[in-house]
Structure 1
């Protein structure tokens, strides 16, 4: 396996080096034609208006970003980025909980190892059960968000230790004054196959220094899989006051009610419905009628204040989620209702000050606190508490060399539930709630050198190196109470190092290249081990008192990840723009733990995303998207002797998917109406038969139409 990787790595390095030499030579030839110019555009920014790239991050303007179809949530906005891997069972049911996987992965990590934040403040919940599902993206409609910042890798001290894969930061719209009392309103309506509806209305207005925003989104679908209907309503409101010092205060609230069915088995050998695709891997049958119902509310206070000693930002929040899992089971007496309910509460805040000493020195210093509770039917018990402090300094050492360095201290406490539903104790001799605490410093760094002065052929070219410490405590439900078991009594934090080497280059005009090689070395990687556990009490397995569930989860000795992401985008002509993304990754378990094989499997090594945007006429835009993922290998284990396991590889086929849309601007102004846009689109244009998640056929060819306007 290592020899295969070494061979692949050599090929990738050669291709990467050849690509760099080719582009350097190409740009050098172009520079000869423009040497008479006194100034050129420097740094690694793309010049189109919807997506910009810098060595450290990618920024997407939500309002101007063009997608095939109508986005229901921010996953539909970011899923074409090479660092993001969409893993939903179907793209018709946002936030689906099929098989416990997240909707998106970042650099091969689930949401327990990358950070989703709003205005720099981490979004997470105390629960999640045995799923990742720390953030429900279906609760975050695009009209709430102005832009999305994607920061690959663990190199920012401003975000928590769980940001191993990186950060997705959602930036909300800043308040602005309005000249009239008439609010700005936006409407959109979308209809799609499988009785899918996506409708929204939003308005923004104000009077003097006071502002307000409101919005509503309705999403419903019958779903593609059997028993996969979804109905999600989200209401949003914000009031604010603009201060005379260019600062502002805002109070934001949102509420969501979601009902989502869970796909069931649809087996030709038993209880088959030929109106839906075959699904054999679901653990639910038709008679169980499984679904997840959710109610979620959040409240967020924001204070932004420029001052003589920096720009102060305070973000405080409180949120709660109520989940009800509805399904039936059988026993010797017949069918009974096995439904259960959980309540989760989150509260916290983040305060930071950005101090600009000069154009060459900018420091950010701050602290944040998060507390996460579980209403378990006995008491509202604190499950996680995270206190952090950080300082980060951006220093332009010389005109072409910039260093961003920082350090973060994180103190994490968790409370492990050690009590069974009947009141008995899981781990003998331990209390009902087992408290564990850790604290650690994590230095971060990211260095960028612009190569413009070295040679004419290296203008608008930069290289960057990020080297940062990884440290992540067991700070989510799947680490401390997976499947309700008290495995967190034994689990230790992960630690290691993450490195990124980035080449950014303007190839010509606004065509921008960004190539990023990433290396991770993570020790004590937390892995699910229940299939191989020796300390699980049960019939015929006597466990020494006090050692119960010791190996339900384990820390793998060491995991190494290699990855390469390449982005190329810009305009080929004034009317034709494109994007091209490629991602490669491998995970290697350096120990001999069987769980290391099954924990790190089912990840595509190669992914490609590409798209074209062509203005056929002044008011007519064609959109074409393409996605490729190679096969995914699933490791199935079989015990053939004491502590001896045999693994069988099962592959999920590679696939190619095309999406196509025609967008027509009907009018830019018509009476009191503005920007009337009609879009006709089809997803999975060639009806590819494929799977995003093993065992669940992805959605077949679908058609849709949407209409949006403002007034």
Structure 2
């Protein structure tokens, strides 16, 4: 196994090695390009080098060029990210070894509710807005609790949407993908959007998106049960901006998401076949005021989010169990400049209600709680090249009391070429109502069991460290980051002692401790004016309180991509992803056995052509070598769709 792993890692790491070897040659090359600007870390603009955190940025141009259907598709090749689909085709986005429930998803800084209370293991939050509405996506690896709160132990994904424009324009795009063979899995997506002025100071942007995916049941799927379920989504997003004057603006937002999984078989236990069907609807209303005053800036956001799920699953004790979650959030902050200090001061109020007539029948069919917070952050310019960011957040939870989480981060620009940065932070995550309510059940084990609440659970806390170096000038850039997180009282679903069932019902419990640590490497290099090479590598060691590797966490993962701008109108790329070994647990003769799953590598290629100034066409092949994980090992709990072909087009008018 060792030699096999080395054989696969070596070619995938070639890009990073090349960048390192050519450093001396590249220093004498072109001037550095303009860095990507980010705002999620501090609410103010930074580039990715100077920002006090580890950051990845995906632009609208990258989104348009990629054959992606949702947020997980878009981010799965980023360093430190795990977003593979499970054996239903559902993906959650984990950061630095943490599961998706520790990732906070924002839209323009506004939080989305975690879908875990309604739909454990669901991927509803992966399609919060139409892809055509996205200007860029900022991914913050590691906790940002000083500004964004308890959900951000793993990291933050902030989707920045396109703002309404002052001239009328529109865009439309359509994608079609087909998996090789006659086993289904075809999918298509259509997006339409426009923006423009209603009056001189009233601007609007609207986008709508439709996505449909067939179920995929290849020959390696046991009993003909689909490895990827059918899915239909309908998304709509709009922003109305009122430019009051040069200092003030109001923004009125509305988002609607509908996600449907049609009735289909999904499990066979013994001789009995089980079916399920789900539909999730979400409405989000937001009102934002932004002011730019002589003494500083202010932002106030008010949001109301309502999500409903109608879930039918005949494997569960209660086959149909509608649920509803309502969240009301008020958040405000101000930015002030005082000599060499840039201060952010703010507060946040969250009221959350979960409606479930079955699980909450003894308390009126619903449960609610509130959480308030005050936060502050100070960016201090110690010298022209040394900046210190200090922050803290004080949370008060209606059930779990008060908690303070501090944060400190240093950024030192050694030269125009090299930047060193690192920091320490703490994070706090209170249990959700479905975790602390006795008897409350959510679907787990891929629909084969339930996980129950426990009023004895405690909040999860973490202490996190990272140290990184970024070097680059002109045609090249590299970065390396070491990270370490110590999580106390991590919540897990635990089987009863001595359980003999293959899929026993579970209860939420706190682990004593868990740790995640690792190394993130990135590199990019312009080999010529027309050929670009980019790569990243993640080493991850995630262990539970017994020192065992946490399940379904590959130790090694590498992505590399070579892009060629052949002509002004024609481009092409080839990419590869290597996923290292990982552990899985399963039952053998009613005993739990831990096994190691094999590594695997996939390849993609594609081309894009600018047909006219206003129309682009893209073609490509995903999973070129047709890797089928269930053929490698039937114990795999994630899925790689077979070799697929795609075509997409984008028009602007």
In structure 2, relative to structure 1, the CA distance for the partners of 1:476 and 1:204 (3 Å cut) is: farther
Residue 512 (structure 2) aligned to one of 539, 557, 565: 557
Decide which moves more: 562-571 or 154-163.
154-163
Residue 447 (structure 1) aligns with? 410
Contact 1:291–1:326 at 8 Å: present in 2 too? yes
Q: Does 1:401 align with 2:386?
A: yes
Contact 1:253–1:297 at 8 Å: present in 2 too? yes
In structure 2, relative to structure 1, the CA distance for the partners of 1:200 and 1:683 (3 Å cut) is: same
Deviations 1:553-575 (A, max 9, x none): 32222222211111112422211
Residue 289 (structure 2) aligns with? 303
**2:621, 2:452 → 1: CA distance?**
47
**2:543, 2:471 → 1: CA distance?**
31
**1:128, 1:52 → 2: CA distance?**
36
Q: Does 1:492 align with 2:449?
A: no
Residue 660 (structure 1) aligns with? 605
In structure 2, relative to structure 1, the CA distance for the partners of 1:294 and 1:52 (3 Å cut) is: same
* 1:410-559 aligned within 5 A: 410-413=395-398, 436-452=399-415, 459-475=416-432, 477-478=434-435, 480=437, 481-483=440-442, 487-506=453-472, 508-532=473-497, 552-559=507-514
Residue 162 (structure 1) aligned to one of 139, 143, 151: 151
In structure 2, relative to structure 1, the CA distance for the partners of 1:111 and 1:247 (3 Å cut) is: farther
Residue 528 (structure 2) aligned to one of 570, 573, 579: 573
In structure 2, relative to structure 1, the CA distance for the partners of 1:677 and 1:371 (3 Å cut) is: same
Q: CA deviation at 1:696?
A: 5.2
Contact 1:653–1:690 at 8 Å: present in 2 too? no
Q: Does 1:260 align with 2:261?
A: yes
Residue 252 (structure 2) aligns with? 251
In structure 2, relative to structure 1, the CA distance for the partners of 1:661 and 1:90 (3 Å cut) is: farther
Residue 609 (structure 1) aligned to one of 523, 548, 559: 559
Superposition CA RMSD, Å: 3.4
Contact 1:127–1:374 at 8 Å: present in 2 too? no
**1:582, 1:86 → 2: CA distance?**
15
Residue 351 (structure 2) aligns with? 371
Contact 1:211–1:240 at 8 Å: present in 2 too? yes
**2:539, 2:268 → 1: CA distance?**
30
Contact 2:380–2:388 at 8 Å: present in 1 too? yes
Contact 1:131–1:478 at 8 Å: present in 2 too? no
Residue 350 (structure 1) aligns with? 331
In structure 2, relative to structure 1, the CA distance for the partners of 1:479 and 1:569 (3 Å cut) is: farther
Gaps (5+ residues) in structure 2?
38-45, 179-184, 218-224, 443-449, 500-504
Residue 684 (structure 1) aligned to one of 606, 623, 640: 623
Contact 1:127–1:134 at 8 Å: present in 2 too? no
Contact 1:121–1:349 at 8 Å: present in 2 too? no
Deviations 1:486-524 (A, max 9, x none): 634101112231000111111x42311111110111222
Residue 651 (structure 1) aligned to one of 572, 581, 596: 596
Q: CA deviation at 1:115?
A: 1.5
Match of 1:136, SS state, is helix
Contact 2:608–2:616 at 8 Å: present in 1 too? yes
**1:603, 1:326 → 2: CA distance?**
30
**1:158, 1:119 → 2: CA distance?**
14
Residue 634 (structure 1) aligned to one of 547, 566, 584: 584
In structure 2, relative to structure 1, the CA distance for the partners of 1:664 and 1:283 (3 Å cut) is: farther
**1:140, 1:516 → 2: CA distance?**
31
Q: Give the TM-score normalised by structure 2.
A: 0.83
Residue 109 (structure 1) aligns with? 98
**1:130, 1:319 → 2: CA distance?**
16
Q: CA deviation at 1:408?
A: 0.4
Deviations 1:615-664 (A, max 9, x none): 11220110222111112211347899xxxxx7522233211111111111
Residue 190 (structure 1) aligns with? 175
Residue 71 (structure 1) aligns with? 68
**2:276, 2:19 → 1: CA distance?**
56
Q: CA deviation at 1:313?
A: 1.2
**1:297, 1:517 → 2: CA distance?**
40
Residue 113 (structure 2) aligns with? 124
In structure 2, relative to structure 1, the CA distance for the partners of 1:215 and 1:162 (3 Å cut) is: closer
In structure 2, relative to structure 1, the CA distance for the partners of 1:581 and 1:562 (3 Å cut) is: same
**1:485, 1:704 → 2: CA distance?**
39
Residue 41 (structure 2) aligns with? none
**1:510, 1:710 → 2: CA distance?**
31
**2:144, 2:316 → 1: CA distance?**
51
In structure 2, relative to structure 1, the CA distance for the partners of 1:285 and 1:571 (3 Å cut) is: farther
**2:436, 2:144 → 1: CA distance?**
24
Residue 43 (structure 2) aligns with? none
Residue 87 (structure 1) aligns with? 84
In structure 2, relative to structure 1, the CA distance for the partners of 1:119 and 1:382 (3 Å cut) is: farther
Residue 146 (structure 1) aligned to one of 135, 139, 164: 135
Q: Give the TM-score normalised by structure 1.
A: 0.76
Contact 2:382–2:388 at 8 Å: present in 1 too? yes
Q: CA deviation at 1:398?
A: 0.7
In structure 2, relative to structure 1, the CA distance for the partners of 1:74 and 1:589 (3 Å cut) is: closer
Deviations 1:146-173 (A, max 9, x none): 2211111124511113312211111223
Decide which moves more: 107-116 or 700-709.
107-116
Q: CA deviation at 1:139?
A: 3.2
**1:471, 1:685 → 2: CA distance?**
43
Deviations 1:453-478 (A, max 9, x none): xxxxxx51111111012322213634
In structure 2, relative to structure 1, the CA distance for the partners of 1:410 and 1:290 (3 Å cut) is: same
Residue 202 (structure 1) aligned to one of 193, 198, 203: 193
Residue 317 (structure 1) aligns with? 303
In structure 2, relative to structure 1, the CA distance for the partners of 1:299 and 1:629 (3 Å cut) is: same
Q: Does 1:706 align with 2:648?
A: yes
Match of 1:625, SS state, is strand
